[in-house]
Amino acid sequence: MRQHLTSIVAIDRNGAIGCKNELPWTIKSDMAFFRKTTMGNVVIMGRKTYQSIGSPLKGRLNLVLSHNSVLFPSTDQCRLVNSVGEALADASTAKHEESFVIGGAATYVEFAPIVDRYLVTFVDHIAPDGDAFLAQSIRDMLPEWKAREIAALPAVPGQDEFAFRIVEFVAPDEDARRQQRNETVEAILDKRLNAKSRKAGTRSAQASAAQEAFFF
């Protein structure tokens, strides 16, 4: 597994991350940071986040967590996964350096027990119509993690609607979280291998039976 599994998120002073499936602000500098950070890597998201974006993020392997197996046909750039474990397994076998959980609120919660790093953009604003929030349990946990400020920028008319700062948080138990991910991935990959072996065995048996019937 990769060194980190990172959740990357922007929140206002109340923890809001969205409004009607859109960002409640326009901060181009933060979007550039998001693009640069995730480019060439794996991004993991929930169905609603994928639908709000409208298409796969270019230059990244998109893994969409959904129980709707007919949401869209999987491609090399964008795949459906039906569990956290499946997402981890697909990410582990991809030729990418890092993996990022990019939302939405429920997906951040699902991955919270195994994520070992957060990149949080704190927006100096309160979105009046915010209807999606980073879970309070996650926000309460972050002060206990090792923090490092990456950037702090003022509002710039026409560029960044509000002032913001970006902080990296690293889990104090990152090794244990990584081990938990590794064990999950190993279990999923073993399950896939066993299923493939059983399928191959069934085909072989069917082929043998057909051959015997032909010669009879």
**Position 119, amino acid:** L
Quote the number of domains for the chain: 1
| Domain containing residue 34 | 5-215
3-state secondary structure of 13: coil
DSSP 8-state code for residue 143: G
C-alpha span between 10 and 17 (Å, rounded) = 6
Tokens standing for residue 123: 């927006």
Measured at the CA of 159, the angle between CA 134 and CA 34, to 5 degrees, comes to: 45
CATH number of domain containing 34: 3.40.430.10
Average pLDDT for the chain: 91
Give the count of beta carbons closer than 10 Å to the beta carbon of residue 81: 18
Average pLDDT over residues 121-137: 97
Structural contact between residues 103 and 43, judged by C-beta atoms closer than 8 angstroms: no
Does the pLDDT value for residue 1 go beyond 90? no
Average pLDDT over residues 164-184: 97
List Cβ neighbours of 134 (8 Å cut-off, separation of 6 or more).
9, 11, 15, 17, 105, 108
pLDDT digits (tens, 9 = 90+) for 66-88: 987 667 788 889 999 999 999 99
Question: Percent of the chain scored above 70 by pLDDT?
Answer: 89
Does the pLDDT value for residue 213 go beyond 60? no
Structural contact between residues 63 and 90, judged by C-beta atoms closer than 8 angstroms: yes
Distance (Å) of CA 32 to CA 26, 36, 157, 190, 192:
12, 6, 16, 39, 37
The confidence score (pLDDT) of residue 214 equals 47
pLDDT digits (tens, 9 = 90+) for 5-62: 999 999 999 999 999 999 999 999 999 999 999 999 999 999 999 999 999 999 999 9
Distance (Å) of CA 133 to CA 27, 98, 112, 149, 166:
18, 25, 14, 22, 18
C-alpha span between 70 and 43 (Å, rounded) = 20
Helix (H) or strand (E) holding 42: strand 42-46
Q: For 91-95, 150-154, 191-195, 207-211, which range has the lowest pLDDT when averaged over its residues? A: 207-211
Sheet holding 146-153, edge to edge: 78-81, 61-65, 42-46, 99-101, 5-11, 117-123, 164-170, 146-153
